[in-house]
């Protein structure tokens, strides 16, 4: 049973449950970009984010990559394992796009001969800066062993999702993975969400963007694009 609100972010609320090791994630229709500089509301977006994230996290669970997702429990809600947040992001890139492309001076969408994996300090006030493993350990954010697990899981999850989206006619350009320590077991698991809010997704034939760049770049059709992603995944 859903209990009291324990956290509210820009795009989600998290509620306690009768089980101390489980929480309920509630997806709102709000979307933000550029570290909360840009903000808007799109009717129905929370429902789509919830269903897409449940689909992708459930897929990773079945493939042996542990996540916090347990089950859907409503149009906007899902039951998840409670975690201790690790304030780091591991970003998996099949292409260099957005901020990364601009930082490195390459064309948006540049496709390298290798897969690029970044580590970022998840801190809005600092602009989510890139950090290396030594810096993350020095700040007490994670141990070297935990970082090794996170990189390994992100690479495995990125490869699995690349193949899954390809079957749906979508190219996974990049994906942001967040992690936490399970409150029950202490194991490292993927947390938060996987959706067009946290992945860049391009139509393989047309190159059409089907992700949050619709909002970032004022391209319009945010909800229809997210709906297209969900429909294609469910039709695989």
Pick the CATH number of 2-234 from 3.30.110.30, 3.40.50.10330, 3.30.470.20, 3.40.50.1980: 3.30.470.20
DSSP 163-218: HHHHHTTEEEEEEEEEEEEETTT--EEEES--STTTEEEEETTT--B-STHHHHTT
Cα-Cα end-to-end distance for the chain: 33
State the 10-residue block means of pLDDT for the chain, 236 residues long.
94 97 98 91 98 98 98 97 98 97 96 97 93 98 98 98 98 98 97 98 98 98 98 97
CB 109: neighbour CB atoms within 10 A?
Answer: 15
Enter the tokens of residue 230: 């969900």
Radius of gyration of the chain (CA): 17
Return the pLDDT at 35. 82
d(CA 90, CA 157): 11
Q: What pLDDT is stored for residue 119 in this prediction?
A: 98
The angle at the Cα of 36, spanning 33 to 42, to the nearest 5 degrees, equals: 60
Kindly state the tokens that stand for 34: 């550029």
SS3 50: helix
Q: How far apart are CA 62 and CA 68, in angstroms?
A: 12
Tokens of 196: 């067009």
* pLDDT at site 161: 98
pLDDT for the residue 36: 81
pLDDT at 183: 97
Whole-number pLDDT of residue 37: 87
For residue 175, which of 101, 57, 90, 234 has the smallest C-alpha distance? 90
């Amino acid at each position: 049973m859903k209990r009291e609100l324990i956290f509210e972010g820009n795009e989600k609320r998290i509620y306690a449950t009768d089980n101390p090791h489980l929480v309920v994630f509630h997806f709102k229709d709000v979307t933000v970009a550029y570290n909360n500089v840009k903000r808007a509301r799109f009717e129905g977006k929370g429902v789509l984010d919830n269903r897409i994230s449940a689909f992708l996290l459930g897929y990773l669970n079945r493939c042996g990559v542990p996540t916090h997702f347990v089950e859907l429990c409503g149009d906007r809600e899902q039951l998840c394992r409670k975690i201790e947040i690790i304030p780091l992001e591991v970003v998996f890139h099949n292409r260099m796009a957005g901020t990364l492309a601009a930082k490195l001076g390459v064309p948006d969408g540049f496709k390298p001969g290798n897969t690029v994996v970044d580590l970022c300090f998840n801190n809005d006030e600092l602009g989510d800066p890139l950090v290396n493993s030594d810096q993350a350990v020095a700040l007490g954010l994670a141990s070297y062993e935990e970082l090794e697990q996170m990189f390994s899981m992100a690479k495995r999850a990125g490869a699995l999702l690349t193949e899954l989206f390809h079957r749906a006619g979508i190219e996974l350009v990049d994906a942001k993975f967040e992690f936490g320590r399970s409150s029950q077991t202490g194991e490292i698991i993927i947390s938060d969400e996987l959706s067009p809010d946290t992945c860049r997704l391009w139509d393989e034939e047309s190159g059409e963007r089907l992700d949050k760049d619709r909002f970032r770049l004022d391209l319009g059709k945010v909800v229809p694009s997210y709906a297209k992603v969900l429909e294609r995944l469910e039709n695989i």
